[in-house]
């Protein structure tokens, strides 16, 4: 027996199959051929590794089904179209669940909450934690100051119109959008007005659809927020008071033209 013949019969030898005569001749060759002895040894090691790997793997149900279908033991349960449809149905159910989970917001959208952002600014301004950039009790002085701070027109409702007594103003950013604020009081209650370009509302999912003339309220804890679109601006009035009083300030804001 030469090397070629010996290696050709490795399978029979390894599995202890074949006749006794064949095994005897292979053993005789391996005893005299170190190369084949080494080759047989490495083949056996490889075989063992494969057996271990296959034993460790859990069979895939889908693969198993395909084997059964292929063998004719199992009829294919679903056509391709049905699988696609059920896949779409499952997908739609997932989206519906996400919408409910997010309280009606589009899944995956990072939410900039305008009421939360303005509420947080209002509380810092009212508590004095955020110093007013410009202090004045004159609505005309405040308007003049802001005219040099932001590129969009900002008005300050005169006190006689809605009872809003201004004490100062400044600029801030709401979700990276430039905004101006007016801090003041209605009677003794701190109230803040935030003004930003109307286009900036696009950054706020819940308010992106706000239209001129439409006023929306939102209560967050004890804080009320009233939002309206006036000319080119979005205007928010925030305070811990009756939303009707805040809305009166908002309406007053819209009743006189820009001093530009
Ligand atoms: Zn050999």
For the stretch 47-55, contacts whose Cβ atoms lie closer than 8 Å and that sit 24 or more positions apart, written own/partner, are 47/14
Angle of helix 34-56 relative to helix 20-32, nearest 10 degrees, comes to: 120
- Rounded Cα distance between 17 and 11, Å, is 8
Write down the pLDDT at residue 124.
95
- Give the residue ranges of the chain where pLDDT is below 70: 56-111, 256-260
Going from the Cα of 1 to the center of ligand 1, the distance in angstroms, rounded, reads 8
Going from the Cα of 16 to the center of ligand 1, the distance in angstroms, rounded, reads 19
Write down the pLDDT at residue 182.
96
DSSP 11-49: HHHHTT-S-HHHHHHHHHHHHH-HHHHHHHHHHHHHHHH
Going from the Cα of 39 to the center of ligand 1, the distance in angstroms, rounded, reads 9
Going from the Cα of 4 to the center of ligand 1, the distance in angstroms, rounded, reads 7
Write down the pLDDT at residue 10.
86
Task: Scan for tokens 């779409």, then name that residue.
Answer: 88
* CATH number for region 114-253: 3.30.200.100
Write down the pLDDT at residue 260.
40
Going from the Cα of 33 to the center of ligand 1, the distance in angstroms, rounded, reads 5
For the stretch 157-181, pLDDT in tens is 878 778 899 999 999 999 888 999 9
Going from the Cα of 46 to the center of ligand 1, the distance in angstroms, rounded, reads 19
- Rounded Cα distance between 232 and 153, Å, is 8
Going from the Cα of 5 to the center of ligand 1, the distance in angstroms, rounded, reads 9
Write down the pLDDT at residue 99.
38
Write down the pLDDT at residue 59.
55
**β-bridge mates for residue 189, sequence order:** 186
Write down the pLDDT at residue 241.
92
Write down the pLDDT at residue 130.
93
Going from the Cα of 36 to the center of ligand 1, the distance in angstroms, rounded, reads 4
Q: Does the interface ipTM go beyond 0.95?
A: yes
Domain locations in the chain as residue ranges: 3-56, 61-101, 114-253
Q: Is 191 exposed, middle or buried (0-12, 13-18, 19+ CB in 10 A)?
A: buried
């Amino acid at each position: 027996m030469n090397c070629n013949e010996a290696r050709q019969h490795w399978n029979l030898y390894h599995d202890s199959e074949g006749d006794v005569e064949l095994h005897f001749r292979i053993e005789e060759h391996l005893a005299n051929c170190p190369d084949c002895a080494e080759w047989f040894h490495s083949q056996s090691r490889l075989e063992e590794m494969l057996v271990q790997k296959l034993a460790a793997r859990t069979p895939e149900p889908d693969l198993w089904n395909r084997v059964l279908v292929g063998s004719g033991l199992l009829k294919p349960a679903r056509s391709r179209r049905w699988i696609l449809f059920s896949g779409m149905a499952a997908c739609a159910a997932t989206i519906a669940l996400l919408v409910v989970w997010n309280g009606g917001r589009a899944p995956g959208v990072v939410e900039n909450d305008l009421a939360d952002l303005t509420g947080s600014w209002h509380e810092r301004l009212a508590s004095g934690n955020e110093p007013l950039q410009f202090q004045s009790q004159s609505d005309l002085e405040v308007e003049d100051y802001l005219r040099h701070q932001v590129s969009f027109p900002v008005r300050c409702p005169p006190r006689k119109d809605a009872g809003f007594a201004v004490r100062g103003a400044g600029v801030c950013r709401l979700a990276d959008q430039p905004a101006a604020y007016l801090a003041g009081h209605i009677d003794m209650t701190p109230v803040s007005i935030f003004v930003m370009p109307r286009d900036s509302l696009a950054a706020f999912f819940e308010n992106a659809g706000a239209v001129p003339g439409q006023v929306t309220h939102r209560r967050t804890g004890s804080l009320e927020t009233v939002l309206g679109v006036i000319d080119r601006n979005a205007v928010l009035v925030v305070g811990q008071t009756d939303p009707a009083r805040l809305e009166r300030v908002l309406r007053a804001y819209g009743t006189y033209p820009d001093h530009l």
